[in-house]
Structure 1
Amino acid sequence: MADAALLSPQDPAWTEALDRVRHDIYHIPEYVRLDAGLTGGTPVAYRYDEAGRVFLLPLLLRPVPDTDLQDAISPYGYPGPVGSDDAAFWSRAAGTMTELLCTEGVVTAFARLHPLLPGHSEALAVAGTLVNHGETVSIDLTLSPDELWSQTHRSHRNQIGKATRAGVEITFDDWSRFDEWIDTYHATMRRVGATAFYFFSAAHFHRLRTALADHVHLAVATLDGEVLGGNLFFEYAGTMHTHLQSTADAPIHYADKLLYHAVRMWGRDRGNTVYHLGGGVGGSADSLFRYKSQFGSGRQDFHTWRVITDPCNFEKLAGPATADSLMGRFPPYR
């Protein structure tokens, strides 16, 4: 017998499913509930059970303006589906998800897949459309310090040395500097011309720290007591992710390079196995990707998964589905 349901974060079945499969911090209910507060969406997890196997996908349900319909998107980050290792099972889980979401008035679903976790993309492609956005960068923390240093581009190595000689210091989990770091984050967002979404409030950052507890850490770079920037990052089950990195509107003496180096060494010393830096904007091979790629040699593909769960209502909102509407901005009616 198979069973499919949409779970609330309070449902113990969500955590029980995660206990049975490899997953990351983006899948836990505390993270999804927190992220829902940014957009006003309803946090849920699609869970499919069959003969001792389980499949789970966190989602945020959002009302479609001027309709009684909804659509579903991933929380921020990489909370793609996780589940038992069986391609045929994943195919049935994905197909059943489409049917269940349609009965709930959900028109489309959009999910960001996790670049590091195992999955069966061929099964997802049957139920929807997979789009490859490029690569992300990761660092193998099982390497020796010398091997990690040798994988670092010579320009980064040179600038890490300059930062050290200038007296830049990195401290970890000094939460008394959190609000100062938040100021540098907002300064960074203004500098790069970020959209309003990325100007997370100080209250959100403090809720994030409370919700994720020991899984979120702060590395702060200082010089003569002044905060030059910092790295807010996650640590969960041996995997680390940079969540947000920022620098102040001032000479920073290459503190950004020293931060990445210090965080990876900190993570290695604690027994973590991989440090995921992410990719470029939208997954592209842009200057941000090239910057990150000079810290380590790990590369993995980043995909999104787009599903039309209610073709009739999708056509009313966006017209007939085309390659452009499936491969471009999705859903196209947003």
Structure 2
Amino acid sequence: MINSKNELVKIEILTEKKEWNEFLQSVDDYGFYHTYDYHQISKSESDKAVLIKYTNNDIFIGLPLLIRKINGSDFYDAISVYGYSGPIGSKTPLNFNTSNYEQTLLDFFNKKKIVSVFVRLNPYLTFQNILFSNLGESSYFGKLSYLGKIVNINISKPLEIQKRDYQRRLKTHVNKANRLLTLKIAETKEDFQKFKTLYYENMKRINAKDLYFFSDDYFESFNSSKDFKTEVLLAIDNETKKVVSSCMFIKTNTMVQYHLSGSDEKFLHLNGTKFLIDQMRIKATKEGYKNFNLGGGLGANENDSLFRFKSSFSDEYHPFFVWKLITNKEIYEALCKKNKVHDKESSFFPLYRLNE
């Protein structure tokens, strides 16, 4: 379409791998959470993975989402994949007017009967906050919400400077682990099976929800994807020769992402996970990567043990935001009423899915 200011504005829905990847190659930066393969890995059988491409003359913005049918209704909602996703695109001028993008996106959601949208933003792509700063402000629940900090190790710094920023207790643990453990890069089926076994044991130990007990297909999809590089590292106890810890890391462009890990409960005192993160830090630095994203706490909580563990590696933090939008207040509230959900004080979104 062409708007009143003679700007050529267009919305395209990309669903095929070839066109999705071509778009990724045309943007300034993206992470593995934006890739076609990760969306296919993350979606349920009934979800539809789309990349909403907005073009305005020489400016283009892509928003990847999973579109979901709302059970028992004729409506849909949209959510980003788990992780750090959000919009990506070409460089936008400092004076870029977001109003056209906002209206075009809102029109699309309404046309497709999408009642609500939930997007996890990428803390490394600051322009995302600008795009969403006004979008939906006049709606019932359209806003940016700060959830907490994520921890980054700046691996563009010299290795000795990186380690200097470790907390003192962590340095002691890593130095001890370097004497007691040996690094192995997973290569065989047996290596990957050991990683999965330790990961599942870890999830049982912390009473994780069922959704975190990923299938074999999930793990195999990571290993086979060409959209990003998956590396699994194993820590082997020098005395018993047993694999005591394992971690999965994902590499894309200049970023390394700490994704999943697990440890043998009998060997937690060897600090295998700390050892493996430190080993990946060294490896990725030598390979030329720039950032090592460790993520945040459980539910982005800055006060839990997981965040304290990660922040012992670095005091460089990035703010993590999510964007929540209700496009149709009347239908949203009707769905909440139908599903017998009335707690408007709850932070769960969309609220009508609270009891699913």
Please say if residues 32 and 227 of structure 2, whose CA atoms lie closer than 8 Å, have aligned partners that are also in contact: no
Alpha-carbon separation, structure 1, partners of 2:217 and 2:306: 28
Q: Does residue 109 of the first structure (1) align with residue 127 of the second (2)? A: no
TM-score between both structures, scaled by the size of structure 1: 0.92
1:41-190 residue pairs with structure 2 within 5 A? Answer: 41-84=47-90, 85-86=92-93, 88-127=96-135, 128-166=142-180, 168-176=181-189, 177-190=191-204
- Provide the residue aligned with 2:4 in structure 1: none
- Residues 261-315 of structure 1, C-alpha deviation per residue, up to 9 Å, x if partnerless? 1011111010001100000011111211111001012101000011112333213
Secondary structure at the counterpart of residue 348 of structure 2: coil
TM-score between both structures, scaled by the size of structure 2: 0.87
- Provide the residue aligned with 2:139 in structure 1: none
Distance 1:49 1:154, change over 3 A: same
Distance 1:139 1:197, change over 3 A: same
- Paired residue type of 2:187: D
State the Cα distance separating 1:94 from its structure 2 match: 3.2
Which of 21, 30, 42 is equivalent to 2:37?
A: 30
Please say if residues 55 and 90 of structure 1, whose CA atoms lie closer than 8 Å, have aligned partners that are also in contact: no
State the Cα distance separating 1:213 from its structure 2 match: 6.4
Distance 1:165 1:11, change over 3 A: closer
- Provide the residue aligned with 2:350 in structure 1: 331
Please say if residues 230 and 246 of structure 1, whose CA atoms lie closer than 8 Å, have aligned partners that are also in contact: yes
State the Cα distance separating 1:246 from its structure 2 match: 1.4
- Residues 195-245 of structure 1, C-alpha deviation per residue, up to 9 Å, x if partnerless? 010000122101221124661111111124321121101111111111112
Which of 301, 317, 325 is equivalent to 2:335?
A: 317
State the Cα distance separating 1:82 from its structure 2 match: 1.3
Secondary structure at the counterpart of residue 302 of structure 1: strand
Alpha-carbon separation, structure 2, partners of 1:93 and 1:32: 23
Alpha-carbon separation, structure 2, partners of 1:78 and 1:11: 22
Alpha-carbon separation, structure 2, partners of 1:214 and 1:309: 34
Instruction: Count the aligned residue pairs.
Output: 327
Distance 1:171 1:90, change over 3 A: farther
Please say if residues 13 and 52 of structure 2, whose CA atoms lie closer than 8 Å, have aligned partners that are also in contact: yes
Distance 1:117 1:149, change over 3 A: same
Q: Does residue 305 of the first structure (1) align with residue 323 of the second (2)? A: yes
Please say if residues 141 and 275 of structure 1, whose CA atoms lie closer than 8 Å, have aligned partners that are also in contact: yes
- Provide the residue aligned with 2:225 in structure 1: 211
- Paired residue type of 1:28: T
Secondary structure at the counterpart of residue 23 of structure 1: coil
Please say if residues 83 and 90 of structure 1, whose CA atoms lie closer than 8 Å, have aligned partners that are also in contact: no
Alpha-carbon separation, structure 1, partners of 2:188 and 2:148: 35
Alpha-carbon separation, structure 1, partners of 2:223 and 2:322: 27
Say which is worse superposed, 246-255 or 258-267, in terms of deviation: 246-255
Q: Does residue 193 of the first structure (1) align with residue 207 of the second (2)? A: yes
- Provide the residue aligned with 1:250 in structure 2: 266
Distance 1:25 1:90, change over 3 A: farther
Percent identity (aligned):
27
Distance 1:302 1:213, change over 3 A: closer
Instruction: Give ranges in structure 1 of 5+ residues lacking alignment.
Output: none
Secondary structure at the counterpart of residue 45 of structure 1: strand
- Paired residue type of 2:39: V
- Paired residue type of 1:240: V
Alpha-carbon separation, structure 1, partners of 2:106 and 2:329: 11
State the Cα distance separating 1:89 from its structure 2 match: 4.7
- Provide the residue aligned with 1:233 in structure 2: 249
Instruction: Give ranges in structure 2 of 5+ residues lacking alignment.
Output: 1-7, 136-141, 338-342
Secondary structure at the counterpart of residue 43 of structure 1: strand
State the Cα distance separating 1:137 from its structure 2 match: 0.2
- Paired residue type of 1:281: L
Root mean square deviation of aligned Cα: 1.9
Alpha-carbon separation, structure 1, partners of 2:54 and 2:292: 30
Please say if residues 9 and 30 of structure 1, whose CA atoms lie closer than 8 Å, have aligned partners that are also in contact: no
Please say if residues 31 and 212 of structure 1, whose CA atoms lie closer than 8 Å, have aligned partners that are also in contact: no
Secondary structure at the counterpart of residue 349 of structure 2: coil
